Structure 1
Amino acid sequence: MTPQGVSTLDLDPETTSVDDLKLLIFSTTAIPPDEQDIKYGYPPKPLPSSSGPLSSIPIGRGEQLIVSSVPSGNSSKKAPVIAQPLSTTIPAPAASNPTNAPPILAAPLVSNASQDQSAEGGESVALPGRDAGYLQLRVVPDDNSCLFSAIGIVFEGGIEAAQKLRTVVANAIKNDPFTYSEVMLGKPIDQYVKQIQKPQTWGGAIELSIFAKHYKTEIASFDVATGRCDRFGQDEYDSRCLLVYSGIHYDAISLSPLPVSPTSFHTTVFPVTDETILTTADKLVSQLRARHYYTDTANFDLRCAICKKGLRGEKGAREHAMQTGHVEFGEY
């Protein structure tokens, strides 16, 4: 019998050996130890034989294991893949300056309405190679904190960290007024800092550059409408994470070991040397573009949050900002 699905093994990597692990897997999956093909890490690699503890390999808490059945005396794999993560979570890092900023205004937008589109659950693309996993769109709420929620999924394990992440941005700006000058922010520093901490204020390129530096990870932000990838912190860090930008909304991308698995088993940060992640993410974004999962920022309706004047698209907002100095806009 070879069951399939996802299970959690609660063990101590400091005291558990490879043989102990195989016995635990056998008790959970009914796959005999001599028929287990075990892979760990990212990208998945075979689990080596070792007489020492799992931590010497090294395998730590939160590690995702992929187990499949290999009949004794036969090197060809068969049977389903079984993901067996040890019980813990995997944290993630961030990035810096973009090669191109997203097409929204540099100043944060304020939204009073929800985006009327959201991807269906399960939008995913398989990575090439056996047992490589699936890149999945992680949709976050349309509550004006989508960028912060997406970053929360990647680096903090959930959207609950959104407000804390606003404080990270505020502190970064206050502590580096030379980089985040009034010219860059488009308004006085104190005003920007106060505004970005409000739950209704949107984030954009400035915030992504700050998170990239804060987490020391490249942030690759894919624009669904154009297919462009803006890479914050490019060539500065060893890790990379993935976001999707739909014109007025950000979502996250994570790697699932199976088509459907608990999000606690997902990987959200990857080595920058793995170009397969980028090319597969591009395929996922192409799927979203085919579904028209984006907003036409050239023609969508905006309202100035200061004088309440109705405006058409990003161009209209920019012209209004130049004429009046008003830089806070929301959707109708």
Structure 2
Amino acid sequence: MRIRFRGPSGGGFLELPEESTVTDLISALEAETGSGAIAIKYGWPLQTLDMQQGDLKVLVRELGLQREILTIVPVENPPAAVAAAPTSAATPAVDLDAQLAASLSYGSGEDVKVEMPESRTNLVLRVMPDDGDCMFTAVGGALGGLVPVGIAHHADEYTPAILRRMVVDTIRENPLQFDDNFLGARPETYCNRLLNGMWGGGIELSILSEIFRIEICSVDVKTGKAYHFGEQQNHEEFCVVVYSGVHYDRIAEAATEGVMGMVEFDVTRWNALGNERILRHTQENICQMLRDRHYYTSVSDFVVVCNQCHEILQGEKAITQHARQTGHSGVTEIEDMT
């Protein structure tokens, strides 16, 4: 099993046996980072692995930690390198105001668009709120009016809360299909986390595709590669989302005049036959525009250390909150050495 981590002196990977416990993980991280007592943070928003509640003998794979980038925080005196928080070419100081401005630079995302003269429409990026529900919001906006399979629910709008519950019900009703190996954690543990705000990803996309009988195409911004959920099921329609590494947004087709900014007029599902241009334009044009803008990834996922109090922070929201609470503004990025 491969565990990815970040710490005050950089980051890297750990290779652990499949049967490793949380105790084994902690020992390996302490040895790898050269730290004494450490705290392990994971997920988004960052959560601290509770090592006082009998979890030390639990297997790492049961907690699903192999799917996370672990952030290592010394809990005693920070190392001298962190206390000094030097600004260098290797760890450039992050201008907080500049980072926040970058994250807001495209407003609604309507300027990320591709003209399609043959249909007199634009293919446009609809930016989702960065609130932990982005995947469910992005997909939910394409599901309105569809009738789920085997679930007594039909809505013009499927909210993240509704979709989370549908996914959890599906997992619980199909224990042979969604077991520990498939989920990377005990099913009930996984379901509880999902109901309590855990980010959605490939597992949830595959389940939603099955529930709503729709192919969901998730396009990776960095590579332009499309991942098809439900591709072999002969679904009549498909929708498209783009994934920046930490965030999902929705692709929509909008009229070129008059209602460009009116989401209620968007086309968000297409017939699976004859609309190859939608996915092609997303991969070749939309993603290229986003790469040119270094879209989201460097802002939402970066890890920094506060130059004044040395607290480890991850992402724009945590940094903003810390600055407002403490008045501190100088931070230094912790590089991910991969």
Structure 1 length normalisation: TM-score?
0.53
Contact 1:255-1:267 at 8 Å conserved across structures: yes
| 2:216 alignment partner AA | I
Q: Which residue of 1 aligns with 2:266?
A: 266
SS at match of 1:247: coil
Is 2:129 the partner of 1:141? yes
Q: Which of 30, 45, 57 is equivalent to 1:111?
A: 45
SS at match of 2:45: coil
Structure 1 stretches (4+) deviating beyond 4 angstroms?
157-160, 309-312
Q: Which residue of 2 aligns with 1:248?
A: 246
Change (3 A) 1:220 1:197: same
Structure 1 residues 234-255: Cα deviation after superposition (integer angstroms, max 9, x where no partner) = 1321211000101000011111
Residue 258 of structure 1 and its aligned partner are, at CA, apart by 2.4
> Quick check: which one's helix share is greater?
2
SS at match of 1:196: helix
Give runs of aligned pairs for residues 83-232 of structure 1, distance below 5 A: 109-112=43-46, 117=103, 119-121=106-108, 122=110, 123-131=112-120, 133-156=121-144, 161-198=159-196, 200-232=197-229
Q: Which residue of 1 aligns with 2:67?
A: none
Change (3 A) 1:112 1:258: farther
Structure 1 residues 296-326: Cα deviation after superposition (integer angstroms, max 9, x where no partner) = 69x8439xxxxxx9799xxxxxxxxxxxxxx
SS at match of 1:251: strand
Residue 265 of structure 1 and its aligned partner are, at CA, apart by 1.0
Change (3 A) 1:224 1:165: same
Identity over the aligned pairs, expressed in percent? 32
Structure 1 residues 153-211: Cα deviation after superposition (integer angstroms, max 9, x where no partner) = 1113898711111101101111111121111111111111111011x311110000011
Q: Which has the larger radius of gyration?
A: 1
Structure 1 residues 272-315: Cα deviation after superposition (integer angstroms, max 9, x where no partner) = 22111111112112111111114269x8439xxxxxx9799xxx
Contact 2:143-2:158 at 8 Å conserved across structures: no
| Separation of aligned partners in 1, 2:177 and 2:302 | 32
Give aligned pairs, total.
197
Contact 1:247-1:296 at 8 Å conserved across structures: no
Structure 1 residues 93-112: Cα deviation after superposition (integer angstroms, max 9, x where no partner) = xxxxxxxxxxxxxxx94424
* Structure 1 unaligned spans of 5+: 1-107, 303-308, 313-332
Q: Which residue of 2 aligns with 1:235?
A: 232
| 1:280 alignment partner AA | H
Structure 2 length normalisation: TM-score?
0.53
Give runs of aligned pairs for residues 64-75 of structure 1, distance below 5 A: none
Structure 1 residues 99-152: Cα deviation after superposition (integer angstroms, max 9, x where no partner) = xxxxxxxxx944249x96354331211124152x11111111111111111112
RMSD value over aligned CA atoms?
A: 3.1
